Structure 1
Amino acid sequence: MLGTRKGKIAIIIMAIALVISCSIAGVAILQKKPSDNSAKKQVIEEPGDMLSMGELIVNLADTSEIHYLKTDIVLEVSGAQANKNVGDDTTQKAPLRDAIIGVLSSKRFAELNCPGGKETLKTELQEVCGQCLKPARVLNVYFSEFAMQ
């Protein structure tokens, strides 16, 4: 009886030692600091300056019926020249608004009303506005108002 009791105590002590060692290893792994390489990979892009284009009302390109689009577009622009290029200056903003009106008026009602139509339009506007604002970059295009009739 004495031999089996010592065997049970030895098994219990080994089990407790195993649990403690696994706990210590788990804590060590969780508290390990991330390496510098992984920190460099996570580049957080700062938000850009918001540039309002104001309200725009355009005729859509439909030939069978007359359709209108009323929208208010805000561009998120990055780069040191972002505010210097356009700002609130009407003479600087006019070519940009003209390019936007050209893109909007080339669209048909069905193109914009379908799923993904607005996202496609945002991509096109981002490219066109990016060309007008060089060297600044257009990060995103936002519609603060979008109504079609």
Structure 2
Amino acid sequence: MRHGVQLLLVFLVLVLAVPASVSASSEGGHGGGDSKKKEKSEKKEKGDKKEAGKAENGVITIGPLVVNILSNKGYRFLRLEMIVECADNEAAERLVKADAKEELILMLSNKVADNLLANSGKMILRKELIDLFSKYTGPDKVKNLYFAEFVFQ
């Protein structure tokens, strides 16, 4: 009986291995099917994601950032992602430089979670962020700021 089970296992392994080799050869042989799949996934990745830190039409995404913020219960985490509209790409890309990003993190880490829970607190934060970013881009270069992600934990 044990011998029969072993033969059955060997048979199943051989049968299951055959379709993989047949499908590869039907794609033009020599692994052509895999390269086509790889090309499609590379095109998809390039089309879906733009390069980090690069602005497009004056719009740049900042984040997601995770920052410790103050709370009555000690520290909490804020995960924040923003979309910033600027007058041009040069101004937008200035916002992801190290000095601007550091000042952003320092500003956010001094915020109190309870003040940011209400929409009014978020609108005040938006105004403060636009003012901060204008310091790096120049006056009237930051047109608008949108929160793409705003999560407390």
Same-fold call, TM cutoff 0.5: yes
**What secondary structure sits across from 1:120 in the alignment?**
helix
Q: Name stretches of at least 5 consecutive residues in structure 2 with no aligned partner.
A: 1-56
**Alignment map for 1:24-39 (pairs within 5 Å):** none
Instruction: Tell me if 1:144 matches 2:126.
Output: no
**Alignment map for 1:1-149 (pairs within 5 Å):** 49-62=58-71, 64-78=73-87, 82-87=88-93, 93-134=97-138, 137-149=141-153
Q: CA RMSD in A?
A: 2.3
Task: Please state how far the C-alpha of 1:70 moved relative to its aligned partner.
Answer: 0.2
Runs of 4+ displaced beyond 3 Å: none
Q: Cα deviation per residue 1:108-133 (whole Å; 9 max; x = unaligned)? A: 11010134011000000000000011
Aligned residues: 97
**What secondary structure sits across from 2:138 in the alignment?**
coil
Distance 1:137 1:130, change over 3 A: same
Compute the TM-score of the two structures, normalised by the length of structure 2.
Answer: 0.56
Compute the TM-score of the two structures, normalised by the length of structure 1.
Answer: 0.57
- 2:106 is matched by which residue type in structure 1? G
**What secondary structure sits across from 2:75 in the alignment?**
coil
Contact 1:86 1:93 in 2 (8 A): no
Percent of aligned positions with the same letter in both sequences?
Answer: 28
Distance 1:104 1:97, change over 3 A: same
Q: Name stretches of at least 5 consecutive residues in structure 1 with no aligned partner.
A: 1-47
Structure 2 CA distance for aligned equivalents of residues 140 and 68 of structure 1: 25
Q: Cα deviation per residue 1:7-58 (whole Å; 9 max; x = unaligned)? A: xxxxxxxxxxxxxxxxxxxxxxxxxxxxxxxxxxxxxxxxx72111121000
